[in-house]
Amino acid sequence: MKIKLLELAHARSGDKGDTANIGVIALKPEYYPFLKEVLTPERVKKHFEGICFGPVERFELPNLCAFNFLLHNALDGGGTRSLRHDAQGKTLSTAILRLEVDLPDEKAREWGFLK
């Protein structure tokens, strides 16, 4: 089944200059290995086409069942230079949770998303 990341994770985002960081945290520990597989930097880079113009880096924090994504060149120059309404990328946390992934039916049933 197709499922939005919103059902599997929570997130918080912030800025460092023109780089946005998005911390993505699995809602349950059992989701973490699946997210590790599907939430590749390439996938996230493609998701943010038209927002992020530089590379995307992914760091793993298995101890928190979390990832930290760095989106370079993603804030229109950042700081006071940016003309974006969300110049500090505060709402990119939920933008990443719009990402839709293919969850195998077996897992979807196990986790209660499919009856």
Partner 1 sequence: MKEKIRIASGQGFWGDRFDAPIDQVRKGPIDYLVLDYLAELTMSILQKKKMRNPALGYAEDFIAVMEEILPDIVEKDIKVITNAGGMNPFACRDAILQIAEKRQIKNLKIGVVYGDDITDRIDEFLDRGIALNHMETGEDLHTVRERVYSANVYFGAQPVVEALQADAQIVVTGRVTDTGLTLAPMMYEFGWSDTDYDKLSAGIIAGHAIECGAQSTGGNFLAGWKEVPNMAHIGFPIVEAYPTGEFVITKHENTGGLVDVRSVKEQLLYELGDPREYITPDVVADFTTIQLEQAGPNRVRVFGIKGKPPTDFYKVSISYSDGWTCIGHLTYGWPEALEKARKADEIIRQRIRDFGWEFEEIHTEFLGYNSIHGPLSHHIDEPNEVVLQIGVRGYNREHMERFSREMIPLVLCGPPTVTGFGSGRPKPKEVIAYWPALIPKKVVSPRVDVSSH
Residues that bind partner 1 (CB under 8 A): 10-12, 14-17, 21, 23, 25, 27, 47-51, 59-64, 66, 68, 70, 76-81, 83-86, 91, 93-95, 98
Least gap, CB of 89 to partner 1 (angstroms): 9
Residue closer to partner 1, measured from CB, 91 or 109: 91
Residue closer to partner 1, measured from CB, 4 or 109: 4
Least gap, CB of 13 to partner 1 (angstroms): 8
Least gap, CB of 63 to partner 1 (angstroms): 6
Q: Which residues contact 109 (CB under 8 A, 6 or more apart)?
A: 115
Residue closer to partner 1, measured from CB, 23 or 103: 23
Q: Which residues contact 97 (CB under 8 A, 6 or more apart)?
A: 4, 5, 6, 9, 10, 11
Residue holding tokens 């059902």? 7
Residue closer to partner 1, measured from CB, 40 or 91: 91
Least gap, CB of 33 to partner 1 (angstroms): 16
Using the 8-state DSSP alphabet, how is residue 91 labeled?
T
Chain-centre distance of CA 27, in angstroms? 13
